[in-house]
A and B are shown apart, each in its own frame.
Chain A
Amino acid sequence: MLKIENVSKHFGGITALDHVSLEIQEGTITGIIGPNGAGKTTLFNIITGLYPQDGGDIYLQDRKISALPPEKLVRLGIVRTFQNLELFGRMTALENVMVGLHAKSSSGLFSCAFGFPRQRKEEAFMRERAYEWLKFTGLADLALREAMSLPLGQGRLLEIARGLATEPKIILMDEPAAGLNTRETLNLAELIRKIKAMGITVVLVEHDMELIMEVCDHIGVLHLGRKLAEGSPREIQDNPAVINAYLGEQ
């Protein structure tokens, strides 16, 4: 589904990613873990077209997508959420999700300004679809709340709802459980499984090991910009190199 081949990235003299390769299978939940500074978010930024990589390539279903900007990638089916919420704070939850439908709609500036019938129809359709995604993520009651006023947990769900609205093939979530309490994390795990059941491939960057071990089919471990290990949750838990990286030399 998504193939990362020998991707490298340097920031000045610092090597953030050093020839990282990883393959993500269709319809699975893949976790990417590693200590702080391992390069997980950098990898996400490269996959989603926010940074150019210095070396290596990325393929989506055998199509090279390396240098494409995010607004093109989303049309090919790649979307992400952000570790530090990037919600549209002064817009309502519903409007946030409606922005997720941008690429799925087509009314131009003039038909929007003059309210042509086709545009009105599309607007009604978008509103309806957006409500469905809010329901799916359990946010329907908050549809008209300003996104800025949502608590962290619901803000994260809104980011997911907004991403799903783009109808992605693959969704990348950057630390979706950070700052959530146990119950919210359980709900999140449930939601992630529901997303997988829809046939959407999920990639998680996460520090919450419980969540990772519980939902992931496959895990890649990054350490200091390199891939340290890859395997099933069981294999990763028993991998001495991984244990060392997390706990230091014993």
Chain B
Amino acid sequence: MGKRNFLIFAVFSLCILALPLLLRESYLLHVFVFIGINTMLAVALNLLLGYAGQISLGHGALFGLGAYLSAILTTKYAINPWMAMVIAGTIVSSLSFLIGFPILKLKGHYLAMATLGFGIILYILFNETVEWTGGPSGLPGIPCLKIGNLAFDHDLANFYLVWIFALVTMMGSLNLNHSRIGRALRAISDSEVAARILGVEAWPLKVKIFTVSAFISSLAGSLYAHTMTFIAPASFGFNFSVEILTMVVVGGLGSVYGSFWGAAILTLLPEWLRVFQDLDIIIYGILLILIMMFMPQGLAGLLSVKKRGP
């Protein structure tokens, strides 16, 4: 990151971390815990979709797998939640690494189908392995994370917990964008053939970024499980995978701040639209269509200054 970009990020981080002063102990603070988790997910998917141009419709399930592993390890095996988070991340990323090799040979719609299938299999497992997951009725009583005497069991603490993870994820992603690996990923997205001709090992690199993306999603899942203390399969279905995808696209493909705006808008909109009662889902849909019609670059396109000449 250059000095200017670092400054922008520092100001952004301070604004985020100062939010609780403004929001106090309100419901919005609670919503912002979700926004932090969703930001992690959007940034993770953006690594794959926005940078490398590879679609995934299975990120909701990877998020769920992280959450369930954390939940099962802590409730059934009494493992320390921090430790559970690490183990869950390791399992989810190892699994993604293994699955990534065959499926990232696929392109476009075929890759979408493969990741969709992968997601659906996991979703069925969440529902059917009742002994482990509690099935459709969910898994309650997940312990919260603790550091010494500080328990992350209320909104204010959860806000800082989640946002420290989210900001580190954003920073890593920003750094990556303007680096050797980030350029290689963007090169794959623009012309895989040319990237390979110039020495980019496209396939292994795609698998690597998929693995990293899965790891971040798993961390987000663990954070979700330990802050909510209850999880159920409904949160990790195909709909949620599409919602993460929508966050990335609405925010602006390839933009880290865009991923944040996408996550924020898509998390806040349903809250704001609640006053319209039954019409909320229709208005939600129309707003998304309008955003994509008039801002094909996403929200990030609005905020960035165009460098292109006349």
Check if B176 sits within 8 Å of A71, measured CB to CB: no
Check if A91 sits within 8 Å of B183, measured CB to CB: yes
**Cβ of A62 under 8 Å from chain B:** no
Given contacts A71-B199, A74-B198, A149-B308, A112 and B180 within 8 Å (CB-CB): yes
Give the number of residues in A that approach B within 8 Å (Cβ atoms).
43
Q: What separation, in Å, do the CA atoms of A220 and B179 have in the docked complex?
A: 42
Question: Please, which residue of chain B has its CB at the minimum distance from the CB of A112?
Answer: B179
Tell which of A100, A102, A146 has the most Cβ of chain B within 10 Å. A102
Partner of B198, one of A102, A113, A122, A123: A102
Q: What separation, in Å, do the CA atoms of A49 and B70 have in the docked complex?
A: 45
Check if B186 sits within 8 Å of A88, measured CB to CB: yes
Check if A48 sits within 8 Å of B180, measured CB to CB: no
Interface positions of B from 193 to 249, Cβ below 8 Å from A: 193-202, 208-209, 212
Q: What separation, in Å, do the CA atoms of A105 and B173 have in the docked complex?
A: 20
Task: Report the minimum CB–CB distance from A9 to chain B (whole Å).
Answer: 17
Interface positions of A from 139 to 171, Cβ below 8 Å from B: 144-146, 149, 162-163, 165-166
Check if B190 sits within 8 Å of A112, measured CB to CB: no
Check if B176 sits within 8 Å of A91, measured CB to CB: no
Q: Which residues does chain B contribute within 8 Å of A102, judged by CB atoms?
A: 180, 183-184, 187, 198-200
Partner of A71, one of B183, B186, B201: B201
Check if A88 sits within 8 Å of B190, measured CB to CB: yes
Known: A86-B194, A113-B175. 10 other contacts (CB 8 A): A50-B193, A71-B199, A75-B199, A102-B200, A103-B199, A109-B208, A123-B179, A146-B307, A162-B198, A163-B198
Query: What are 6 A-B contacts defined by CB distance under 8 Å?
Result: A87-B191, A101-B180, A113-B172, A126-B180, A165-B198, A166-B198
Q: Which residues of A pack against B, CB within 8 Å?
A: 48, 50, 69-71, 74-75, 79-80, 82, 86-91, 95, 98-103, 105, 107-109, 112-115, 119, 122-123, 126, 144-146, 149, 162-163, 165-166
Q: Which residues of B pack against A, CB within 8 Å?
A: 1, 172-173, 175-176, 179-184, 186-187, 190-191, 193-202, 208-209, 212, 254, 307-309
